[in-house]
Structure 1
Amino acid sequence: MVTAAADPTPQTADAQPWGRVDDDGTVSVREGDDWRVVGQFPDGPPEEALAYYERKYSDLASEVTLLEVRHRRGGASAADLRSAAKAVSAKINGASAVGDLASLDARVAALTETLSAETETEAAAAREAVDEAVKVRTELVEKAEALAARDPRTVQWKQASAELSTLFNEWQSQQQNGPRLPKSTAQQLWKRFRDARATVDKHRREFYAELDEAHKEVRDRKTRLVEKAEALAPKGEEGIAAYRELLDQWKTAGRAGKKADDALWARFKAAGDALYGARSERETADAEASREKIAAKRELLEEAKAVPDERDLAKARALLTGIQRRWDEVGRIFPREAERGLDDDLRKIEQSLRTREDADWKRNDPEQKARANDMTRQLTEAIEKLEDELAAAEKSGDKASIAKASEALEARRGWLRALGG
């Protein structure tokens, strides 16, 4: 009988061998105080037989070490490692191998116990993850249902479609990357989401169908306005008033869709541009014809500068009247801005002369003179009286009376000077 001289695992304190080979080639492993037959190796020397079964032990030890390393490094779930540990434990139990099987089994058992606790933690975390996923998907469902519940007439459909698309993408992301939900819960939530999505799609189709019909009516209405505007072309500038009426109708006609609106407006505007173009051509011709008139009126303005310098009002009025007559004979001027500027300059000269005439009339009006003389007489009498009062106050030394009489006297003298007295 030959016993094992070496073992890849630490030996026990008594350093007894873990395996032996009988003379008939039977190989046994020591388990405590007993020996268990693990196989036969009759065709080779005992050392080779032991080496063969020790290699099997080394393979088992490597599997245990690998499990421990995977656990330390993390990444694998505790449940998966626990399942792998169970499989390795089954291999160790009654294994056809020579070595410290009990030590390997103890290591696996210790790892299994640790994994059991971690599995419970993972299970709790998984339940929390499922609860959170249910909450998230429920929120997605409620948002979709809120979109479906809105009045289709008030919805901005481009924005609503984008929102629904975003919700659906988030739903798919949850399905692909989130935890698996219980089947009944997942089906119930999906049914609600699908129904809300179908409702939104139905409302959108109905809205755009109604919008298309409304656009068709507006398109027909605006087409008729365009045709009327284009028919004004032969009238030229005289058609502008009618075109403006059509423009007012255009503004209240509604929307026919961007593409149709742009095309119809281009035609409508072109018709208006033709009418305004005719007026522009006429104004250009008028402005060209007004050049000589402008020069003539400017010459009249130069003559009119002599009016303010003429001291004799009758001669000044005669000079201005002659200029005004020739001014009217020159006729209208275009553009109107130029005419208004020239008229304003002449009007200033007219106003200046009128002011002089009004002042002269007031000075020479008998009634005005009589009133002025009466006022002068009254002021003179009042001044004489106040002078006597001032003299009496100065004689008595009454300062208050002196101040009062002086102030009143100065005021009356000022009024008299204003009257030319």
Structure 2
Amino acid sequence: MSSDPWGRVDETGTVYVRTADGEKEVGSWQAGSPEEALAYFERKYEGLVVEIGLLERRVRTTDLAPKDALTAIEHLRTSVTEAHAVGDLSALAERLDALTALVDSRREERKAAKVKQNEEARTSKEQLVAEAEQLAESEQWRTAGERLRALVDTWKGLPRLDRKTDDELWHRFSHARSVFSKRRKAHFASLDAQREDARRTKEKLVAEAQSLSDSTDWGPTAARYRELMADWKAAGRAQREAEEDLWNRFRGAQDVFFAARSDVFAERDGEQRDNLAAKEELVAEAEKLLPVTDLKSARAAFRSINERWEAIGHVPRDARPRIEGRMHTVERALQESEETEWRRTNPEVRARAEGLTGQLQAAVDKLRGQIETARAAGNTAKADKLQSELDGRQALLDAALKGMGEFR
């Protein structure tokens, strides 16, 4: 007969394991010595040790679901209870008990985290509703409309609450958006009516301007054209598609009259040539502002140049498109610089960019942690899959960080 601290083999070859409840028969051995018999059944015990160790590592280092973990524990508990092995089976049962307690603790933590997440989601949605209801009364149609669309995207990214609460908050949120949309629609309908009134007014101004275009009563007619121009500006803008055509007809009628007057007063050609020379100097001065490096200084300098430009008066008709075109080029460059500066300093655009960058950074950090966990667990396939996802997220993050550089 042979024995060790956890088992023995009797003279008939029967193998026993010692437990807290006494000896338990685990098998028989007829093929060799008692020492070989014990070694065989001890190897079976070591197999159980390895399985439990692997499960402990999975529970501690991965996000294994509590339900799946408890199922695996119970499977191993049955294997230990029914084991045909020699070793400290009580110690294995204790390890499984400790692992069960850990899983139960993790489950409670998850429940608490879920409750916290729901509370945070409810607070966030209530804040979104409050902001939407405030925006519903705004008259900043473009800014408020863009912000409401951003709020919808934020809402979609939040977890759902219980059905009753979520439906109530969504109803308020949707109602606020509907109120804003109706007010904006009414505003632009009113604006369309105003533009139609402006179109009819300008049609009358065009008709009068054309009726005066062949007048030779130079002084009074020129004065009347100035009055018509004031009326034109006071009328407001017509619809975009009509405005340019109306202006071309209105300005064309004036051009006919003033061209005829210029022909009659040929002696004024010298004055207009002097005007052209003066405007040539001014436009050259304006062109030196490009490219714009100091927007504030350039804007002030252009304002001064433009005031002097307006004070000079008419230039020869054939030179007007060229000289005015050069001046308009400078003006457009300044406007583009102003728009670029506005976009760069816009706090809402910056906040959205920072929020996106933060979300991408968090996703990248999380994926890196999951990859390390998978590799530590020997799960190469999962690690490779996560690495592919990480590469995509990292590319998005790099692009977002590059975009953030435009705000510095």
Match of 2:227 in 1: 245
1:32 is aligned to 2:16: no
Given the alignment, which residue of 94, 106, 125 partners 2:81? 94
Alignment pair present for 1:211 and 2:194: no
Q: Distance in 2 between matches of 1:265 and 1:56?
A: 97
Question: Partner residue of 1:138?
Answer: 126
Tell me which residue corresponds to 1:181.
161
**Aligned partner of 1:169: which letter?**
D
Assess, with a 3 A threshold, how the Cα gap between structure 1 residues 256 and 287 changes in structure 2: closer, same or farther. closer
1:27-176 matches, within 5 Å, as: 29-36=17-24, 57-73=45-61, 75-76=62-63, 79=66, 83=70, 86-88=73-75, 90-92=77-79, 94-98=81-85, 99-148=87-136, 150=137, 155-175=139-159
After TM superposition, the structure 1 = structure 2 runs for residues 14-413 of structure 1, keeping only pairs within 5 Å, are 15-17=5-7, 29-36=17-24, 57-73=45-61, 75-76=62-63, 79=66, 83=70, 86-88=73-75, 90-92=77-79, 94-98=81-85, 99-148=87-136, 150=137, 155-175=139-159, 180-235=160-215, 238=218, 239-285=221-267
Q: Residue 70 of structure 2 aligns to which amino acid in structure 1?
A: S
1:85–1:108: 8 Å Cα contact kept in structure 2? Answer: no
Unpaired runs of 5+ in structure 2? 272-408
Distance, in Å, in 1 between the alignment partners of 2:209 and 2:10 is: 117
What is the aligned-residue identity percentage? 34
**Greater relative contact order structure (CA < 8 Å, 6+ sep):** 2
Counterpart contact for 1:20–1:29, Cα < 8 Å: no
Give the distance between the partners of 1:59 and 1:187, measured in 2 at CA: 54
Whether the aligned pair in 2 keeps the contact of 1:28 and 1:38 (CA below 8 Å) is yes
Q: Distance in 2 between matches of 1:140 and 1:22?
A: 81
- Structure 1 residues 188 and 33, CA gap change in structure 2 (3 angstroms): same
Query: Residue 163 of structure 1: CA displacement?
Result: 0.9
CA–CA distance in 2 between the matches of 1:40 and 1:231?
124
Contact 2:16 2:23 in 1 (8 A): yes
Equivalents in 2 of 1:145, 1:108: separation in Å? Answer: 55
TM-score normalised by L of structure 1: 0.52
CA distance in 2, matches of 1:81, 1:104: 19
* Cα distance, 1:118 vs structure 2: 4.2
- Residue by residue, what CA displacement relative to the aligned partner does 1:65-93 show, whole Å, maximum 9, x if unpaired? 123223443x5268467535643454345
* Partner Cα separation in structure 2 for residue 237 and residue 70 of structure 1: 99
CA distances 1:117-163 after superposition (whole Å, capped 9, x unpaired): 44434433332222111101110111112222x1xxx6122112101
Contact 2:198 2:236 in 1 (8 A): yes
Between structure 1 and structure 2, the one with the greater Rg is: 1
Does the 8 Å contact 2:9/2:16 carry over to 1?
Answer: yes
The alpha-carbon distance between structure 1 residues 166 and 285, as it changes in their structure 2 partners (threshold 3 A), is: same
The TM-score normalised by the length of structure 2 is 0.54
- Taking the aligned partners of 2:199 and 2:190, their CA distance within structure 1 comes to 14
On the 8 A contact 2:69/2:103 being kept in 1, the answer is: yes
Letter in 1 for 2:22: D
Contact map agreement 2:262 2:269 (CA 8 A) in 1: no
SS for the counterpart of 2:235 is coil
Greater displacement, 114-123 / 124-133: 114-123
Q: 1:214 to 1:246 in 2, by over 3 A?
A: same
Shift of 1:105: 1.6
Describe the shift of the 1:82–1:248 C-alpha distance in structure 2 as closer, same or farther (beyond 3 A): same
Q: Deviations over 1:271-306 (max 9, x none)?
A: 3233233333333345679xxxxxxxxxxxxxxxxx
* Paired letter, 1:87: E
- Across the aligned residues of Structure 1 and Structure 2, the Cα RMSD in angstroms comes to 3.9
Shift of 1:167: 0.4
Q: Could you tell me whether the CA contact under 8 Å between 1:230 and 1:268 is conserved in 2?
A: yes
* SS at structure 2 position matched to 1:234: coil
Query: Residue type of the partner of 2:213?
Result: A
Post-superposition offset of 1:219 = 1.9
